[in-house]
Structure 1
Amino acid sequence: MIDLVLLGSGGNMPMPNRFLSSLFINYRGRKILIDCGEGTQISMKMKNCGFKNIDLICITHLHGDHFNGLIGLLSTIANSSRTEDLTIIGPYGIKEHMNAVRVLVEYLPYNINVIENPHGSFSLCHEYLKDIEISTIELEHSTECLGYSLYFKRCPKFNKDKATLNNVPTILWQKLQSGKSITMDGFEYKPEMVLGDDRKGIKISFVTDTRPIFSIPEFIKDSDLFVCEAMYGDDMDISKAVKNNHMTFREAANLARLGNVKKLLLTHFSPSLEDPYKYIDNATTIFQNTIIGYDQLELNLNFKD
């Protein structure tokens, strides 16, 4: 199971009831953040998310409403006695920004690995994150901006008949199923000797801030959860959306429909959008399984056999 908390659902500036962009993902007890706007730490504390086991932070772009919470968060992680490396991914400019952050946060007991503007799909050489395939897409905003897709892979099903046919000792079954080759009594046992059919993983896509460009539907295709910016609820605000490189509810919902996603979570609301629920029909008439995001919203995604 994958647990998620929408830590902040606002854009531009924090409001009394709405912090800025951040999504928390808990997978096997390890944590991932996408964006880190102001209020991220407060939301994490309110939901008892824990700071020590954050292994990956993905920054979409370097506007303050997506980045400015990072300075305090890194200090808090340091105070949690963390010593393991932490990875931060971001668009062009993330290395320069992180150099500036290190001036303000002088001492950290852990190393920060910065990955700038990655292309395509890749996995990290990390004990807890190696089973996650990360993909990025370049978006259309007023600055360099990345969308992220995380695919949580699963090991293929264990095939007892195959293991027995290959004379694999039962004491090795569990380790081989986890993908590790083992040498015992001079013979190498490989995972494919016990593994059967593939099992579907879970795909989470996160897109903000951008106009609805043609490459997005293919990027988010078949996502179990599509988290998308929806700066403006009213269709009459389309001119603002075009001018500011953002989206309306209807445009986000249309992307979800074209991408054949299972669930759409709208977020990154304008400060002027006091009641996003007022405009939910503008999304659900296009894509029915739409959720209006709010701070500290919890979601759970389960693997299916």
Structure 2
Amino acid sequence: MLDVCLLGTGGMMPLPYRWLTALMMRFNGSSLLIDCGEGTQIAIKEKGWSFKPIDVICFTHYHGDHISGLPGLLLTMGNADRKEPLTLIGPRGLERVVNSLRVIAPELPFPIIYKEITEPEQIFEMNGYRLKAFRVNHNVICYGYTLEIDRAGKFDVARAEANAIPKMFWKHLQKGETVEDAGKVYTPDMVLGPARKGIKLTYTTDTRPTNSIRENAADSDLFICEGMYGEKEKAHKAVEYKHMTFYEAAQLAKEAQVKEMWLTHYSPSLAYPEDYMEEVRKIFPEAKAGRDRMSAELGFEEK
């Protein structure tokens, strides 16, 4: 089960009714945060979730509305006497940018592990999931992220017995582990059927529509995508500042054949995103106007 919470849906500046864009996900006892704009701590508190399990923070890019909340969050973690390492992932310059922000958070009781994205696409394996960063098209270097949780095939008791595999090893093989005993090697493929559909979530913001988004979001269970402008007359602004309209996001969702799309990262001038959703759903029916603390539980399909 992957718990998902869109902590904030605002772009550029926080508003009294809308925090800056940040996404938090919980899986298997760990938590992943993507972006950390001003007010992210308050958004987490409002949701009722904890800072303690956050062990990975990813950044799409280094504009202030996506990273300015980091120093305060680090201080809060430090004041809670955190000792476990924290992994930060982001485009080139990550350590330099974070160290600049840490002028106001210089001493922390936990180590920070920096993982810079240096390729157009880069994969990180951790905490039972696979995280893929992919380059998008903004006016600075910017990345989207796809998170995937694989699901092994069903355990086949008949095959395990036919291969004379001792029962004490079954649970290890079911977890994908290889076991060696008395000169014999037992592998998961000896007892597991074909891999089943896992869980896939894609998040992207501050970008024009790109093939990289379309390809990486393909078949996602949930696609969280920037919708800076709902007003059609502002399409030229989306082009000029390299953002996206609601309708461009919906077209991407349609072409990527995702199950559901949430819009986020609204312009401060956009007070009522829902006003534009009727037209958006004509393009992609499973589109929703994201709102602060909007949440979902993504689970494995049962057939």
> Alpha-carbon deviations, 1:185-215, whole Å to 9, x = none?
5544322222222111111111110111233
Residue 71 (structure 1) shift: 0.9
Q: Secondary structure at the match of 1:12?
A: coil
Q: Does 1:122 align with 2:119?
A: no
RMSD across aligned positions (CA): 1.5
In structure 2, the partner of 1:18 is 18
Deviation (angstroms), 1:266: 0.2
Amino acid at match of 1:38: E
TM-score by length of 2: 0.95
Q: What does residue range 44-63 of structure 1 map to in structure 2 within 5 Å? A: 44-63=44-63
> Residue 67 of structure 1 corresponds to which residue in structure 2?
67
- Tell me: CA distance 1:183–1:79, structure 2 relative to 1, closer, same or farther (3 Å): farther
Verify the 8 A CA contact 1:118 1:136 in the aligned structure 2: no
Write the distance in 2 (CA, Å) between the matches of 1:153 and 1:269.
Answer: 32
1:1-305 to 2 correspondence within 5 Å? 1-119=1-119, 120-124=121-125, 126=126, 129=127, 131-185=128-182, 187-305=184-302
TM-score (norm 1): 0.94
The one-character-per-residue Cα deviations of 1:167-199 (angstroms, maximum 9, x if unpaired) are 112122112211222334554432222222211
CA drift of 1:102 comes to: 3.3
Q: Aligned letter for 1:55?
A: D
Task: Check 1:121–1:202 CA distance in 2 against 1; reply closer, same or farther (3 A cut).
Answer: farther
Which sits farther off after the overlay, 101-110 or 26-35? 101-110
Deviation beyond 4 Å, 4+ runs, structure 1? none
Aligned residue pairs total 301
Aligned partner letter, 2:39: G
Structure 2: 5+ residue stretches without partners: none
Do the aligned residues in 2 keep the contact of 1:177 with 1:194 (CA within 8 Å)?
Answer: yes
Output one character per residue of 1:62-90: Cα deviation in whole Å (capped at 9) or x when no partner.
Answer: 00111011111112222333322221111
Q: 1:168 to 1:81 in 2, by over 3 A?
A: farther
**Does structure 1 conserve the Cα–Cα contact (< 8 Å) formed by 2:122 and 2:134?**
no
Cα distance in 2 between the residues matched to 1:86 and 1:284:
39
Paired residue secondary structure (1:303): coil
> How far did 1:111 drift?
1.6
Displacement after TM superposition at 1:17 (Å)? 0.5
| 1:240 shift after superposition | 1.2
Paired-residue identity, %: 45
Tell me if the contact between 1:168 and 1:193 (Cα under 8 Å) persists in the aligned partners: no
AA aligned opposite 2:21 = S
Contact in 1 for aligned 2:165/2:186 (Cα 8 Å):
yes
Once residues 63 and 132 of structure 2 are traced to their aligned partners in structure 1, the CA distance between those partners, rounded to angstroms, is 21
Whole-angstrom CA distance in 2 between matches of 1:292 and 1:4: 15
Structure 1 unaligned segments of length 5 or more: list them: none
Q: Is the 8 A contact 2:92 2:118 kept in 1?
A: no
Q: Which amino acid counterpart does residue 124 of structure 2 have in structure 1?
A: S
* CA distance in structure 2 between the partners assigned to 1:158 and 1:55 by the alignment: 31
Amino acid in structure 2 at the alignment position of 1:123: F
C-alpha separation in 1, matches of 2:183 and 2:84: 35
| CA gap 1:80/1:162 in 2 versus in 1, 3 angstroms | farther
Q: 1:109 to 1:184 in 2, by over 3 A?
A: farther
The alpha-carbon deviation at position 108 of structure 1 amounts to 1.8
Select between 8-17 and 186-195 the one with higher mean Cα deviation. Answer: 186-195
* Contact 2:123/2:133 (<8 A) preserved: no
